[in-house]
Amino acid sequence: MAKKQVERDKLFDHDFDGIKEYDNPLPTWWVWLWVGSMIFSVFYILWYHVGNGPSIYDKLEKENARFGDAMMAKYGNLKPDEETILKFMNDNDAMSAISSLFKGKCAQCHVADGSGNVGPNLTDDYYIHVKKITDIPDVITKGVLAKGMPPWEGQLTETQIVLLSSYVAY
């Protein structure tokens, strides 16, 4: 018994700052966990990166489509006129629904409360590219490439743009 213990607790020939290291094997379960993770990673890469496994972008696209469909079902096809924008500014349900879209698409530059970071402040009455309230949908639709704002025309429905305009004007 003592002989096996001595062979198991064999010290390496080197030390560092007086600390010596044993030459013990890794636990078997740890080795098999590592081997299993390597095998899993091969199939994962083949399925998600080489094959046709669903990506996070597919999931995001489906969520955005579902959100757009829900907005269309609830509010219909809205036109970006002054009356519609002002009407939805006072609709708390619409503002709370569209706040998630603002936080998902706009908060990176304008901050979640609209106070501005890279993008301009949207909480005051001094807009850079907006002279009247009906200019807000145009800015959202076409963007302001000189200032780094992308156009959202192909990514948002017209109803979402109108509601987002109401949220910004709110």
Tell me the C-alpha distance between 23 and 18, whole Å: 16
Together in a domain, 80 and 158: yes
Tell me the C-alpha distance between 65 and 88, whole Å: 22
Which tokens go with 82? 């002054």
- pTM for the model stands at 0.59
pLDDT by residue for the chain (170 residues), tens only, comes to 555 554 667 777 888 888 888 888 889 999 999 999 999 999 999 998 888 888 888 887 788 778 777 777 777 788 888 888 888 888 887 887 788 888 888 888 888 887 877 888 888 877 787 878 888 888 888 888 887 888 888 888 888 888 888 888 87
Together in a domain, 46 and 121: no
Domain that holds residue 94: 56-169
Together in a domain, 39 and 75: no
Together in a domain, 87 and 134: yes
Q: What is the CATH number of the domain that holds 145?
A: 1.10.760.10
